[in-house]
Amino acid sequence: MYALADCNNFYASCERVFDPSLIGRPVVVLSNNDGCVIARSNEAKALGIKMGEPAFKIKELIEKANVAVFSSNYTLYGDMSQRVMNTLASFTPDIEIYSIDEAFLGLHGFSYVDLMDYARHIRKTTMRNTGIPISLGLAPTKTLAKVANHIAKKQPQHQGVYMIANEQQRVDALKGFEIGEVWGIGRQYSKFLARYGVNTAYDFTRMPAGWVRQHMSVVGLRTQKELLGIPCIDLEHTAPPKKAIATTRSFGEMQTDLGYLSEAVASFAASCAQKLRKQQSVAQVVMVFAHTNYFRDDLPQYSASKTITLPVPTSSTMELIHYALIGLKSIYKPGFRYKKAGVIVTGISTNQHIQTSLFDSIDREKHSKLMVVVDKLNDKYGRHTVKVAAQGAGRKWKLRQERISPMYTTRWDDIITVKV
């Protein structure tokens, strides 16, 4: 049996932990540079506020409904996530941290335990330890656990816990579950399946296995078997290496200066390099893009990207910055007001098998040793303690975060004080 633990409205819940006055009040959290809505409390959802909605479009509603608005505080959310995951890990040694607010728990050896009572205990303990409400869905497969979690979250009568334990419960759950909501079924597949009368997860399980494999490959067949209660997806105790790594940002104010954009792109490339080294990988392809503000119809629009294949795969900050800046200079056009830029690295492989070039002039061993030292210093003394000069000294392009909450759990000056 698997359980999926999912934090309810995680970012909004993190804000409420340290400000109880927010309980019962609509809460939204905004994306980088306070651009779009990326998290909503249930009260905000009830107002009709949609995910991804630009903040300026709902300004009047925010004021009218007294909506609490926060800039994204990823330092706080990351630390609270770690606390939630540590609590969940105390209930089973078999855990897969799936995302910042989700984890799969393996409950295969709990045959003498009432799993519903155990799940309620997990939920209660997590709330007591962290202040974060969670929902738990239990089922024989990970995909069915996703379905069960959806039911636990959407149907209040289950009080945050639901288990698919027998065939009738499985069938009933799938008959009321839209095919587009199934884990592993994307938007394109849901549109495709609808043309064949497949509108629910139950409809999908009734399709011939051969047809599913022919039209949706072995991945689709695996999803079908999981929905039938046949386990096909094991827990992943170690996250697989990413096949692409991106660092992108919208600027607080639109920019025309190449120097400004260069500092930002250099920092994005440095971030990608650090992420590559963290997963012990190298990349051979660098893509740089920049574009103007799509929402400003009154301004000239421009969007461009440049993809560069490196002669030798690398995770060196200096190399990636070098090629990223070459790409930026090739697409930059003066006179446009740029709103967003980014760096994406692909062609990722392990750093254990790097195929070098006969004409490679870089001392890669020296670069590698330098990067180890830089990473250690930045881990010890904080991000950006040591960086390449091209990244700039003042970070003029840094995010706009006008409504960010304190770093309650990671900064001494922000720890809440209690007067007795």
- 264 in any annotated domain: yes
**Average pLDDT, whole number, for the chain?**
91
CA distances from 293 to 35, 254, 336 (A): 11, 8, 10
pTM of the model: 0.77
Total tally of structural domains belonging to the chain = 3
CATH number at 110 reads 3.30.70.270
pLDDT at site 1: 94
pLDDT at residue 357 is higher than 70: no
Question: Of 72, 105, 122, which closes a domain?
Answer: 72
Tokens of 416: 């809440």
Say yes or no: 354 and 369 in one domain. Answer: yes
Do residues 102 and 128 lie in contact, with contact meaning Cβ atoms separated by under 8 Å?
Answer: no
Least confident of 40-44, 96-100, 310-314, 416-420: 416-420
CATH number at 311 reads 3.30.1490.100
Burial of 212 (0-12, 13-18, 19+ CB in 10 A): buried
Do residues 154 and 8 lie in contact, with contact meaning Cβ atoms separated by under 8 Å?
Answer: no
pLDDT at residue 396 is higher than 70: no
pLDDT at residue 205 is higher than 80: yes
pLDDT at site 398: 61
Give 287's pLDDT tier (boundaries 50, 70, 90). very high
**Residue with the larger pLDDT of the pair 367 and 155:** 155
Do residues 410 and 82 lie in contact, with contact meaning Cβ atoms separated by under 8 Å?
Answer: no
CA distances from 262 to 158, 176, 259, 287 (A): 53, 51, 5, 14
Say yes or no: 167 and 301 in one domain. Answer: no
Say yes or no: 185 and 280 in one domain. Answer: no
pLDDT at site 51: 93
Q: Are strands 303-314 and 161-163 parallel, antiparallel or unpaired?
A: unpaired
Say yes or no: 90 and 221 in one domain. Answer: yes
Say yes or no: 50 and 95 in one domain. Answer: no
- 417 in any annotated domain: no
pLDDT per residue as tens digits for the range 230-277: 999 999 877 778 889 999 988 878 899 999 999 999 999 999 999 999
Say yes or no: 221 and 84 in one domain. Answer: yes
Could you list the residue range(s) of the whole structural domain that residue 89 is in?
A: 77-227
pLDDT at residue 408 is higher than 70: yes
pLDDT per residue as tens digits for the range 55-95: 889 999 999 999 999 999 988 999 999 999 999 999 999 99
- 177 in any annotated domain: yes
Say yes or no: 207 and 263 in one domain. Answer: no
Question: Of 173, 201, 227, which closes a domain?
Answer: 227
Question: Of 55, 72, 89, which closes a domain?
Answer: 72
- 34 in any annotated domain: yes
Give 400's pLDDT tier (boundaries 50, 70, 90). low
Say yes or no: 269 and 296 in one domain. Answer: yes
Taking each helix axis as running N to C, give the angle between helix 115-130 and helix 74-89, from 0 to 180 degrees, rounded to the nearest 10.
140
